[in-house]
Amino acid sequence: DRSRIGDEDFYRLTCFREKDTPMYIYVGSKDFFSRRLRMTMGVPGSRMKYDSRMLNYSMYEGVMIPDESIVHQGSIEQKSKVIYYKLDVELDDKEFRVPLF
Protein backbone atom coordinates (compact mmCIF):
# COMPACT_ATOMS: atom_id res chain seq x y z
CA ASP A 1 0.00 0.00 0.00
CA ARG A 2 1.02 3.69 -0.06
CA SER A 3 2.49 5.14 3.12
CA ARG A 4 3.79 8.50 4.27
CA ILE A 5 6.36 9.04 7.03
CA GLY A 6 7.07 12.69 7.75
CA ASP A 7 7.28 14.34 4.34
CA GLU A 8 8.33 11.20 2.43
CA ASP A 9 6.05 8.98 0.32
CA PHE A 10 6.62 5.24 0.16
CA TYR A 11 5.22 2.01 -1.13
CA ARG A 12 4.91 -0.21 1.92
CA LEU A 13 5.27 -3.97 1.55
CA THR A 14 3.79 -5.97 4.42
CA CYS A 15 5.51 -9.35 4.72
CA PHE A 16 4.58 -12.22 7.04
CA ARG A 17 6.43 -15.26 8.27
CA GLU A 18 4.58 -18.12 9.89
CA LYS A 19 3.33 -17.25 13.40
CA ASP A 20 5.23 -13.96 13.46
CA THR A 21 4.48 -10.26 13.44
CA PRO A 22 4.70 -8.49 10.07
CA MET A 23 7.84 -7.01 8.60
CA TYR A 24 7.38 -3.74 6.72
CA ILE A 25 9.61 -2.76 3.82
CA TYR A 26 9.32 0.85 2.67
CA VAL A 27 10.28 1.55 -0.94
CA GLY A 28 10.83 5.13 -2.12
CA SER A 29 7.96 6.21 -4.37
CA LYS A 30 10.28 8.33 -6.55
CA ASP A 31 13.41 6.17 -6.88
CA PHE A 32 12.10 2.68 -5.92
CA PHE A 33 15.06 2.09 -3.57
CA SER A 34 14.48 0.26 -0.30
CA ARG A 35 14.45 3.06 2.26
CA ARG A 36 13.30 1.51 5.50
CA LEU A 37 12.74 -1.84 7.21
CA ARG A 38 10.63 -2.18 10.37
CA MET A 39 9.82 -5.28 12.38
CA THR A 40 9.60 -6.75 15.84
CA MET A 41 12.15 -9.50 16.42
CA GLY A 42 12.03 -12.33 18.90
CA VAL A 43 15.03 -12.42 21.19
CA PRO A 44 15.43 -14.92 24.03
CA GLY A 45 12.79 -14.04 26.61
CA SER A 46 11.37 -10.93 24.91
CA ARG A 47 10.56 -9.02 21.73
CA MET A 48 12.60 -6.14 20.32
CA LYS A 49 11.66 -3.43 17.82
CA TYR A 50 13.98 -3.07 14.83
CA ASP A 51 13.98 -0.03 12.53
CA SER A 52 16.58 0.38 9.78
CA ARG A 53 16.70 3.46 7.53
CA MET A 54 18.81 3.60 4.39
CA LEU A 55 19.85 7.25 4.15
CA ASN A 56 21.97 7.28 1.02
CA TYR A 57 22.70 5.16 -2.04
CA SER A 58 25.83 5.37 -4.21
CA MET A 59 27.14 3.63 -7.31
CA TYR A 60 30.04 1.20 -6.76
CA GLU A 61 31.42 -0.69 -9.76
CA GLY A 62 28.15 -0.20 -11.62
CA VAL A 63 26.00 -1.41 -8.71
CA MET A 64 23.80 0.95 -6.69
CA ILE A 65 24.04 0.04 -3.01
CA PRO A 66 22.85 1.63 0.24
CA ASP A 67 26.01 3.12 1.67
CA GLU A 68 24.73 5.00 4.69
CA SER A 69 22.18 3.76 7.22
CA ILE A 70 20.90 4.09 10.77
CA VAL A 71 19.55 1.13 12.74
CA HIS A 72 17.52 1.40 15.93
CA GLN A 73 17.35 -1.93 17.73
CA GLY A 74 15.69 -1.69 21.10
CA SER A 75 17.43 1.21 22.85
CA ILE A 76 20.58 1.03 20.69
CA GLU A 77 21.28 3.26 17.68
CA GLN A 78 23.93 2.19 15.19
CA LYS A 79 25.09 4.29 12.24
CA SER A 80 27.06 2.81 9.36
CA LYS A 81 28.74 4.14 6.23
CA VAL A 82 30.43 2.18 3.46
CA ILE A 83 33.96 3.43 2.93
CA TYR A 84 35.12 0.73 0.52
CA TYR A 85 33.15 -1.66 -1.67
CA LYS A 86 34.51 -4.26 -4.06
CA LEU A 87 32.36 -6.59 -6.13
CA ASP A 88 33.32 -10.23 -6.83
CA VAL A 89 36.40 -10.28 -4.63
CA GLU A 90 38.30 -13.54 -4.65
CA LEU A 91 38.34 -14.88 -1.11
CA ASP A 92 40.28 -17.78 0.30
CA ASP A 93 38.11 -20.61 1.67
CA LYS A 94 39.81 -20.24 5.07
CA GLU A 95 38.00 -16.89 5.45
CA PHE A 96 34.80 -18.89 6.01
CA ARG A 97 35.97 -21.36 8.62
CA VAL A 98 34.25 -21.34 11.97
CA PRO A 99 36.48 -19.55 14.50
CA LEU A 100 37.87 -21.58 17.38
CA PHE A 101 37.50 -20.16 20.88
Give the pLDDT score at 24.
95
Residue 101 has pLDDT above 70, yes or no: no
Give the pLDDT confidence score for residue 21 in this predicted structure. Answer: 84
* Burial bucket for residue 73 (CB in 10 Å: 0-12, 13-18, 19+): middle
The predicted-structure confidence for 36-46, as pLDDT tens digits, reads as follows 999 988 777 88
Q: Mean pLDDT throughout 90-101?
A: 79
| Residue 19 pLDDT greater than 70, yes or no | yes
pLDDT single digits (tens) 39-92: 988 777 888 899 999 999 999 989 999 999 999 998 899 999 999 888 888 988
CB contact set of 34 (below 8 Å; sequence gap of 6+): 25, 26, 27, 28, 54, 66
Question: Which is higher by pLDDT, 91 or 13?
Answer: 13
> What does the pLDDT read at residue 43?
72
